[in-house]
Structures are given as structure tokens and as C-alpha cells.
Amino acid sequence: MKQLLSGNEALALGAYHAGVIVAAAYPGTPSTEILENLARLDGIYVEWSTNEKVALEVAMGAAYGGVRALATMKHVGLNVAADPFFAASTTGIIGGLVVVSCDDPGEHSSQGEQDNRHLARFAKVPMLEPTDSQEAYDLMDWVFKISEEFDTPVLLRATTRISHCKTVVDVNRARKSDLKPASFIRSPSKYVMVPSNARPRRNVMEDRIVKLCSYVENFPMNQMILQDRKLGIVTSGVAYQYAREVFKNASFLKLVTTYPIPANLVRRFAKEVERVVVVEELDPYLEEELRCLGIPVAGKEFIPIIGELTPEIVEQGATKAGLLPAAKHVSKPAAPPPQLPMRRPQLCAGCPHVGTEYILRKLCFKDSKVPGPIKEDEIIVTSDIGCYTLGVYPPLAALDTCACMGASIGQAIGLEKAKVPNKVVAVLGDSTFLHGGMTGLVDAVYNQANITVIILDNVTTAMTGHQGHPGTGISARGQKVTVVKLEEVVRGLGVKDVHVVNAFDLKAIESALKHCLDAKEPSVIISRAPCPLSVRVVNTPYKVDADECTSCYICLDIGCPAISLADDKAVIDASVCGGCTVCAQICPQQAIAKAA
Amino acid sequence: MKDVNVLMVGVGGQGVILASDAMSEIGVNSGYDVKKTDSLGMAQRGGSVVSHVRWGEHVFSPMVKRGETDFLVGFEQLEAARYAPYLRQGGVAIVADVTVIPISIIGGKTPYPSWKEIENILSQYTDQIYLIPAPQIAQEVGNPRAINMVILGFLSAFLELAPEAWTGNIRRRLPPKFLESSLKAFSRGVEEAKVMIQAKGVKR
């Protein structure tokens, strides 16, 4: 049956048909929809794990139990899960274990860009990459087979334009019916990695790679397309599609098995063509592999190493390198396009983060010029990964750092221990706190760091599209499960000074923060209100009384998309307003009130 | 079968993705190879949204090349202007009469461009520019959110498929509550296109 599927939908369906029994993930763009799609299917256990490391460990345990297991994550998620990723490579598995890494070239929604192909080589784990949804679907069957046949986890790497691109898929399989029930076989020399057991496993790992090297030579999805022999292009992933689009007549070697690469196939291809060029996104990974085989090759001289490729980037590079004739006539404007106003991502109207970040701006940044040296009475705000990171943009401009999940707390401890003269506040979301913040907080307690941690609790994982987490008590299948109360966690970790405030109550937030900044011990404020997009609250909108408005524009300081100006007075768009009351609380004229 | 390259641009929450999903499936059901890809900003609401939809005999790249877009479909005026360079010479620009003021403008320096300015930008690439009163039509059919259906109807008038190919897909996609008004919005879009194409006197 032909269906139009996104890469992530195809990966989910492919894994399901391959007989996956346990799937675990932490949400992260562009990987999130894989688990969301699996959660709609029966006969399989799915979970949102607290983080990617746990997700991979859950999948690893299931695979130890002899069933097929899947862990999916975004590129930086595999950094978090690197420890079990390497460990699983060492022990091997019994049931198939597949790890999906969805890289985000161009950082559409990420804090950094990285090429996770290196991690396959680094961890000595075989890697395969689809070039469209059909291959994503088909590959899922292969990767589980490879995993079981070679006793190894397998990395399936996708990128944003594979995961989030819809292409036609012939769905030609049904779910495997001969699934074996789980059973664990005791095997300490395989599973208990004390040094005396781990050393022999090293030999097993290297032997495995040798065997895989010959296996991939005949892998049916690697494809040699011989056309004009003057130019031979070696490529993989979505870059293959761009290359086919741009070089109409060249010869191609499409690699689906990218670690290890099929060395003899590549050599054969190189002999068939006059010149070999690699077209790949991000790092010169294939280029280096080819160079190690002694094949003269070009690639990154004309294909950028940074950012996402597009067909025109490939075309421009190829033209510059003389591989293509000068571009045919492309429509060029007579006048250069004028500078158009940007449309930056912004916190939504009614967002519960706005009030807290407004108070942070007021108390911590005061009126200081940013960037620049900080005055002693100002406060450093370390921050984290989530919607609230958008508070870095004006007019809120209330954050000093954002690095990786949970880092805000460790950074705050470090700044305090380095004895910067300023007080330090760490800000992170509920899901981020449970993902990577708890260990930082217990470190603050143990090492007596005098910092304040604000947990912006919107009771969901908002940025990736409202997934559950332990604090919500909603499972990946939308069922009610145990609610893990953040205030109990925080107290349990040893914090004594704990405040829970309503995220829309500016006075309460300000007074709690002032109290905590004066405290001589680690303190936590949980600023709580559900994300309005998640619970679909409809409040009465607010409106500005134009006669009372003195055009002071203080209400514009919260950056609310519902507020704009008309005839120099503030106006609220009732169709956008979330009725959160924050603007009414800061208006010095009390000119904003509930619309009748 | 003629290849069709479409770029749908707008702002989060306008129904761009629903429209491009529908357009893609309609292509598949009509026998095309189809690829489509979306770029969404980080924000749930209010960020730029770009959908590339490609119909063809065999489509490789999911992204339309700059300068090769047959139809630039703007759900919002400023976004239409931003993606004007994607238009091929003589391509069609369909722009809904909708403006969503970005935060960077409110209290900022750069003003929101007038339609005249936006039209000027688009006219560097094509003279086939249609500003359609989509919000007004959606209002008239009693479903203000059906702007995307008006736009889809308007676009369909330029393509060779039978109307049922479109309406059948819309039927499957929308909840019963909004179905009738959405279909009405779609057919009003088709009519509007016929009138405007004729008024322009463009031979097709």
C-alpha cells in the first residue's frame, strides 16, 4: 500500500513491523515523532524516559531480555546517552537493539550542530542512513537483523530533512508474528563488565567490525548508478537527493551503510569513474574514509562543512568547482531585496514563563547594557534548554547562559564557587529539571552552594509538542500514571528553602525571589502554571482602556504577541490574548482590565 | 504530467502545514511522485513556517530550488515577500490579504511594509501576483479559520486536477463541525481565482 509518510512515521512503522517490543525516548527535535507514532500502535511498550541515557538503558535491558528494542533521540541526546551507547557496544545484546539519532544540521531547533556519524565509528557500532522515507521504513527491518546477527547495537542516523520530509512509501510488510517472549540468559562474562570480562570483549568488538566490513560489501541498499563516467559522486542521506537533483548525468554511489563503509565497492566505483567527489552534509566523514582507502577525492573544498545543505548550495559549490557549467539563468531581482523585518520565535501569548522572566529582568538585569561587564548589585541568570530560553531575546532579555540540558545548575554552582561578586540564579523547566537538573541540585546541597534555582513548571514538555514527563503523571500513551511532585523531589534532595508560586502572580514571584536571594543556603522556587497550549485554557481576554493609556509602553516589556500599538496607544488583540493578566499587573495606570 | 513546485509560507497557527499536507496527498493520489518538507521555527505560535511541496514524475530533492518555484503561496504578506526569491521567472504569487505583525516591529524601528512595497518585491520576479481577500471570504462562509481552504481553492484553479481530487481529501482531513464551511471556503477560493485570472487577462 502506497502511503505518504514522514521519515519519522516510516521509522516508527518500520520498527513496528520489524517486531520491536520496547521503545523508549526523550523528546527532542527532530526525533520526537518516532515515539509518538509508536505510542499509537498496540502490542508494544513505549515510554518517555526521563532522559536519553535512561531511554537507551531501558532499551538495552529489553534487548538483554532477548526482545527487539529501540531508543530514539536527537543528536545531542546521544551525547547524554553516550555512556550506555559505548557500554552496549562492549557487551553486545541478544535481542536487536537499534538506536536512532536524528541530527539537526543548521540547528533548526538545537543548541549546537554535530555530526553523529563520528559516534558510530567512535563506539564501533555499525551505522546505516536512509535517503528517504521508503528507505527509512525498509532499513528498520535490516538494522534489527544486523543487530542480532552481529550481537551489536546498531545506529540508524537520520537528519531533519529525512525525519521531517514526507515521501511515498510502499508499506509492504506486516508486523512480525513469530515474536519470541522475553527471557534472560545469565552470562556474566558478557554482561558484567569488570576489567577481566571487558578485556576479552574488546577482541569480540574488533572481530565484529572485520565481519561487518565484509557483510556491507553486499548490502542490497548500497547502490551504484553508472551514467556519465567523467564524474562519480559518493553520497549518503538526504545529500544523495540534492546531488541527484543537481548533477543530472553524473555517476553515483549511494551509501546506506556508512559505518563500516563497503571499501571494495567504493574502490570499484572509483575505478569506473574519472573523478570522485563526495557530496555530504556537515563533516567530511565519507571523504576521510575514502582518503584512508587511498582514493583521491574532493568534497569539502566546495560543499560547506557548516549548516544544512540545500540543492542550491550544492549547485553553487559544484559550479564554483567547475563540476557544472555556470548556472543557467536564475531569476535575479533588478534591485536588491530590502531588509525585511525578522520574525523571531517568541513566547506565546498567555505563556506562564513570561511573568517569571519579567521579574528576572527587573531584579537581576535592572537597566544594564548587555553585553558588557556586570555591576555588583546585578544578578547572574544561568539558564537551560526549553521554551523559556526564548526569554534571551528582547524585550525580556533576561538570561545569561544556555548550554545543555541541566547545565544551568552546575554553572550556577561554579560561578558561586569561583566567588564572582554577584548572586547567581539558575532557571530551568520542569522536564529539563527531571532530565538533567536533579544531580546538579543535589550537588548544590552537598557542596553548600548559595544559589537559587527557579523551576519554571508548565507541567509539560512544551517545546517539543507537549509530551508527558514524571511531573505530569501522563504516560507516553496518554494514560494517568504516578505523579512525581517536584516540591517533594526538591525537598528529598535536601533543599530546605522551597517556595511554590503561581507563575502568573508577579508579586508572589518577586517576593519569593527577593527572599531566596537573601538566604544563606541553596533555595528553590517552583513557578507553576500549565502551558495554555497544552491544557487548552480559554480565559477572558484583556483590553486596554485607551483613555487611561498614557503611552508609557511598559506593557511592551513582556514581549506579548497580543499587544501592539495603534495611534501610539497599546492595544490587545482579543483573538490572541491568553488572559494571563501579566500586562494588567505591570500597567502603572491600571489601564488594562478584563474585556467585558 | 507537468512538474509542480510549490512553496507555502506563513506564520505558525495559520494552517500552512494542513494545507501542504493535503496538497501532498492529493498529488500522490493523482499519480505523482511527491516530496514535501516543512521548516518550523522553535516557537509553537507566531514563528515563520515554510512548506516545500513538489509533484513530479520522479522527485529527488524535497526542497524546491531558489528561482524554481511555480507557485509561491503566502498565507501572510511579509512572509510572501521574504520568500520572493524562490519564485521562478513568471511563476505565480498567491498572497492572502493577511498581516501578522512580528514582535520585532512593535516598538521597533523597521516598519511593516505596505502591500505596495511587498508587491514591488514580488514583481521583481513575476507579474502574476494575486492578493486574495481570503480573511473576508472565510468570514463570509462563517469559518474565520478557513483562510487556508480559500487559499487552497485559489491554488487549485491553476492546476489540472479535478475538483473532487481536492474536496475528497479535505473531507477526510477535517472534523465534521468545520467541514461544510471549509468546503464552501474552498469553492469560493476557486471562483475568486477564475474571476481574478480573467481580470488579469493572463493566457494559461
Task: Give the Cα separation of A164 and A37 in Å (integer).
Answer: 13
Nearest C-alpha neighbor of A125 from the set A233, A205, A215, A61:
A205
Backbone angles phi, psi at A27, to 5 degrees: -60, 140
Which residues of A are less than 8 Å from B112 in CB distance? 341
Q: Which three cell numbers stand for residue A502?
A: 503561581
Angle at B31 between CA B186 and CA B25, to 5 degrees: 45
Q: Using CB atoms and an 8 Å cut-off, which of residues 162-191 of chain B contact chain A?
A: none
Average pLDDT over residues A249-256: 98
Phi first, then psi, for residue A196 (nearest 5°) are: -65, -25
DSSP state of B131: E
The reply to whether A451 and A484 lie within a common domain is: yes
Closest chain A C-alpha to B11 CA, distance in angstroms: 9
pTM for this entry:
0.96
Alpha helices in A451-501 (DSSP H): 486-492
Interchain CB contact of A583 with B (< 8 Å): no
Q: What is the predicted pLDDT for the residue at B41?
A: 67
- Residues A151 and A52 placed together within one structural domain of the fold: yes
pLDDT tens per residue across span B122-176: 999 999 999 999 999 999 999 999 999 999 999 999 998 999 999 999 999 999 9
Q: Does a structural domain hold residue A330?
A: no
Q: What pLDDT is stored for residue B200 in this prediction?
A: 84
**Which residues in chain A have their CB less than 8 angstroms from residue B135's CB?**
none
Average pLDDT in chain A: 96
Q: Look up cell 487556508; give the residue.
A: B148
Residue A344 in domain: no
Identity of the residue numbered A429: G
Of the candidates B119, B93, B113, the residue with the CA atom closest to the CA atom of residue B101: B113
- Decide if A478 is inside a domain: yes
Q: Is residue B150 within 8 Å of residue B142, measured between CB atoms?
A: no
What is the reported pLDDT for A331? 53
A115 φ/ψ angles, rounded to the nearest 5 degrees = -105, 100
**Pick from A179, A196, A216: which residue ends a domain?**
A216
Containing structural domain, residue B87: 4-200
How far is residue A238 CA from its own chain's centroid?
19
Please indicate, yes or no, whether residues A378 and A494 belong to a single structural domain of this protein: yes
Residues of A in contact with B41 (CB under 8 A): 108-109, 343, 345
Interchain contact B45–A (C-beta under 8 A):
yes
- Residue A325 is assigned to a structural domain of this protein: no
Q: Does A315 touch chain B (CB under 8 A)?
A: yes
Phi first, then psi: give them for residue A213, nearest 5 degrees.
-60, -40
Which residue in A110, A166, A385, A402 has the most chain B C-beta atoms within 10 A of its own C-beta, making it the best mutation to test that interface?
A166
Nearest to A167 among B21, B35, B67 (CB): B35
Q: Determine the structural domain holding residue A437 and report its residue range.
A: 353-535
Say which of B24, B45, B102 has its CB closest to residue A341. B102
For residue A596, what pLDDT is reported?
A: 79
Name the residue facing B125 among A333, A341, A465 (closest C-beta). Answer: A333
Nearest CA in chain A to B108: A341
On the CB side of A237, CA atoms within 13 Å amount to 31
Whether the bond into B133 is cis, omega within 30 of 0 = no
- How many C-beta atoms lie closer than 10 Å to residue A457's C-beta? 26
- Round to whole Å and give the CA distance between B111 and A542: 26
A517 lies in the same domain as A562: no
pLDDT at A332: 60
Residue A108 in grid coordinates: 533548526
Residues A316 and A420 in one domain: no
A335 domain residue, yes or no: no
**Model pLDDT, residue A78:** 98
Clarify whether residues A44 and A70 are in a common domain.
yes
What is residue A408's three-state secondary structure?
Answer: helix
**Residue tagged 548572586 (cell numbers):** A423
**DSSP readout, A223-252?**
EEE-SEEEEEEEE-HHHHHHHHHH-SSEEE
Q: Where are the beta strands (DSSP E) in A341-495?
A: 379-382, 423-429, 452-457
Residue A496 located in a structural domain: yes
Contact at CB, B62 and A167, closer than 8 angstroms: yes
pLDDT of B81 reads: 97
Q: Do A343 and B47 touch (CB under 8 A)?
A: yes
Chain B residue with minimal CA distance to A348? B45
Report the complex ipTM: 0.94
Residue A223 near chain B (CB below 8 Å): no
Query: How far is A159 from A308, CA to CA, in rounded Å?
Result: 10
HSE-up of residue A413 (Cα within 13 Å, Cβ side): 17
Cα separation, A495 vs A428, in Å, equals: 16
**Residue A47 maps to which CATH number?**
3.40.50.970
**Cell digits for A325?**
557549467
For residue A53, pLDDT over 90 is answered with: yes
Which strand (E) or helix (H) includes residue A355? helix A353-360
- Report how many domains make up chain A: 4
Give the single-character DSSP code of A467: B
Task: Count the Cβ atoms, other than its own, within 10 Å of residue A540.
Answer: 11
> Which contiguous run of DSSP H or E holds residue A570?
strand A569-572
**How much is the average pLDDT of A369-395?**
94
**What's the number of domains chain B is made of?**
1
**Is residue A40 helix, strand or coil?**
coil
Q: Give chain B positions within 8 Å (CB) of A244.
A: 60-61
Computed over its alpha carbons, how large is the radius of gyration of chain A?
A: 27
| Residue pLDDT, tens place only, A286-326 | 999 999 999 999 999 999 999 999 999 999 999 999 999 88
Asked if A345's CB is within 8 angstroms of B124's CB, the reply is: no
Q: Give the pLDDT score at B103.
A: 79
d(CA A468, CA A476): 6
pLDDT score, position A496: 98
A339, part of any domain: no
Residue A434 DSSP symbol: I
End-to-end CA distance of chain A: 54
pLDDT confidence bin for A328, thresholds 50/70/90: low
**Min CA distance, A30 vs chain B (Å)?**
11
CATH code of A550's domain: 3.30.70.20
As a whole number of angstroms, the distance between CA A525 and CA A510 comes to 11
Please name every residue paired with B71 in a beta bridge, in sequence order, or none if there are none: B6, B92
- The four Cα atoms B130, B40, A327, A319 give a dihedral, to 10 degrees, of 170
CB contacts of B105 in chain A (<8 Å) are 341
Tell me: do A145 and A58 sit in the same domain.
Answer: yes
Q: Do A342 and B66 touch (CB under 8 A)?
A: no
Cis before A352? omega within 30: no
Using pLDDT thresholds of 50, 70 and 90, give the confidence band for residue B43: low
Interface of B with A in 11-30 (CB under 8 A): 11, 21, 24-25, 28
- Please say which residue of A303, A320, A337 terminates a domain: A320
Q: How far apart are CA A102 and CA A72, in angstroms?
A: 8
AA letter at A202:
R
Q: How many residues are recorded in chain A?
A: 596
Interface of B with A in 71-130 (CB under 8 A): 78-79, 81-82, 84-85, 87-89, 101-108, 110-113, 117, 121, 124-125
Burial degree of A207 (CB within 10 A; 0-12, 13-18, 19+): exposed
Taken in order A241, A329, B90, A337, the sign of the CA dihedral is positive
Residue B190 is part of a domain; what is its CATH number? 3.40.920.10
Q: What is the CATH number of the domain that holds A296?
A: 3.40.50.920
pLDDT at A342 over 90: no
